[in-house]
Amino acid sequence: MSTMRLALHRIRLPLAAFTLEVDTEITAGITGLFGPSGAGKTSLLDLVAGLRRAPSALIRLGDRVLTDTAQGLSVPARERRIGYVPQDLALFPHLSVRGNLLYGAHGKEETNGNGGRFAFDHIRDLLDLGPLLERGIAHLSGGEKQRVAFARALLSSPRLLLLDEPLAGLDRPRRERILAYLRQAHDDLQVPMLYVSHHADEMTALCGEVLHLDHGKVTGQGEPGA
Amino acid sequence: MNAAEWQVVGFTLRVSAFAILLILPPGLAIAWLLARFRWPGKSLAETLIALPLVLPPVATGLLLLKLLGRRGALGAFLHDRLGLDVVFTWRGVVVAMAVMSLPLLVRGARVAFEGVDPRLEQIARTLGATDVRVFLTITLPLARNGILGGTLLAFARALGEFGATILVAGNIPGRTSTLALSIYQLVQLGKDGEAFRLLGISAAIAFAAVWASERFLARRGPR
Amino acid sequence: MRKSFAILLILTLASGGARLATAAELQVFAAASLSDALQELAAGYEKSSGDKILLNLAASSTLARQIQEGAPADLFLSADEEKMDGLEKRHLLLAGTRRSVLSNTLVVVVSADSTVKIAAPADLVAKVRVLALAEPQSVPAGIYAKHYLKAQKLWDRLIDRVVPTENVRAALAAVEAGNADAGIVYKTDAGNSRKVRIAYEVARSEGPKISYPFAVVANTQQPDAARRFLTFLESPAALEVFRKYGFLLAGGS
pLDDT digits (tens, 9 = 90+) for B97-140: 999 999 999 999 999 999 999 999 999 999 999 999 999 999 99
Is A157 among the domain residues? Answer: yes
Range of the structural domain that residue A209 is part of:
6-220
Provide the 3-class DSSP secondary structure of residue C162: strand
Comparing alpha-carbon positions, the chain A residue that sits nearest to B117 is: A90
Average pLDDT over residues C144-162: 95
Chain A contacts of B139, Cβ < 8 Å? none
Residue C3, pLDDT above cutoff 80: no
Rounded distance between C-alpha atoms, residue A52 and residue C212, angstroms = 78
Q: Which residues contact B218 (CB under 8 A, 6 or more apart)?
A: none
| CA distance to partner chain A, nearest, from residue B121 (Å) | 9
Q: Note the pTM of the prediction, 2 decimals.
A: 0.81
Q: Do A156 and B130 touch (CB under 8 A)?
A: no
Residue with the larger pLDDT of the pair A46 and A116: A46
Q: Do A92 and B120 touch (CB under 8 A)?
A: yes
What is the pLDDT, as a whole number, of residue A207? 86
Nearest by CB: B172 against C138, C163, C178 = C163
Per-residue pLDDT band for C253 (boundaries 50, 70, 90) equals very low
H/E stretch holding C52: strand C52-58
Which amino acid is located at A34 in the chain? F
Nearest by CB: B71 against C65, C135, C178 = C178
Average pLDDT over residues C166-184: 94
DSSP code string of B9-40:
HHHHHHHHHHHHHHHHHHHHHHHHHHHH---T
| CA distance to partner chain B, nearest, from residue C24 (Å) | 30
Backbone angles phi and psi of C98, in degrees to 5: -80, 130
Comparing alpha-carbon positions, the chain B residue that sits nearest to A48 is: B126
Rounded distance between C-alpha atoms, residue B68 and residue B86, angstroms = 6
Q: Do A90 and B130 touch (CB under 8 A)?
A: no
H/E stretch holding A95: none
C-alpha C248 chain-centroid distance: 13
- Strands of A217-222's sheet, edge to edge? A73-74, A64-68, A56-61, A6-14, A19-26, A217-222, A209-214, A30-34, A193-197, A160-164, A82-85
Q: Establish if B221 touches chain C: CB-CB under 8 angstroms.
A: no
- The CATH number assigned to the domain holding A89 equals 3.40.50.300
Q: Do B88 and C179 touch (CB under 8 A)?
A: yes
pLDDT in tens, C65-95: 999 988 999 999 999 999 999 999 999 999 9
Residue with the larger pLDDT of the pair C164 and A113: C164
Per-residue pLDDT band for A40 (boundaries 50, 70, 90) equals confident
Which amino acid is located at C76 in the chain? F
Rounded distance between C-alpha atoms, residue B89 and residue B66, angstroms = 15
* Residues facing residue A22 across a β-bridge: A11
Touching B: A residues 22-51, CB under 8 Å: 49-51
DSSP code string of A11-47:
EEEE-SSSEEEEEEEE-SSEEEEE--TTSSHHHHHHH
Residue among C165, C180, C181 nearest B172 (CA): C165
Rounded distance between C-alpha atoms, residue B125 and residue B51, angstroms = 36
Q: Do C179 and B172 touch (CB under 8 A)?
A: no
What percent of chain B stands above pLDDT 70? 99
Residue with the larger pLDDT of the pair B167 and A181: B167
Residue A110, pLDDT above cutoff 70: no
Q: Establish if C166 touches chain B: CB-CB under 8 angstroms.
A: yes
| CA distance to partner chain B, nearest, from residue C164 (Å) | 6
Residue among C21, C23, C34, C9 nearest C167 (CA): C34
ipTM for the assembly:
0.90
Rounded distance between C-alpha atoms, residue A174 and residue B76, angstroms = 72
Q: Establish if B81 touches chain C: CB-CB under 8 angstroms.
A: no
Q: Do B71 and C177 touch (CB under 8 A)?
A: yes
Q: Establish if A82 touches chain B: CB-CB under 8 angstroms.
A: yes
**Per the structure, how many domains does chain A have?**
1
Judge whether A194 and A157 are in contact, CB under 8 Å. Answer: no
What is the pLDDT, as a whole number, of residue A1? 44
For each of the domains in chain C, give its residue range(s) and CATH number, in order of start. Answer: 8-103+211-249 (3.40.190.10), 106-201 (3.40.190.10)
- Name chain A's partners: 3 or more CB pairs within 8 A: B
For each of the domains in chain B, give its residue range(s) and CATH number, in order of start. Answer: 3-218 (1.10.3720.10)
Q: Establish if A76 touches chain B: CB-CB under 8 angstroms.
A: yes
3-state helix, strand and coil shares in percent for chain B, rounded to the nearest 5: 80, 0, 20
Residue to mutate among B119, B126, B137, with most A CBs inside 10 A, is B126
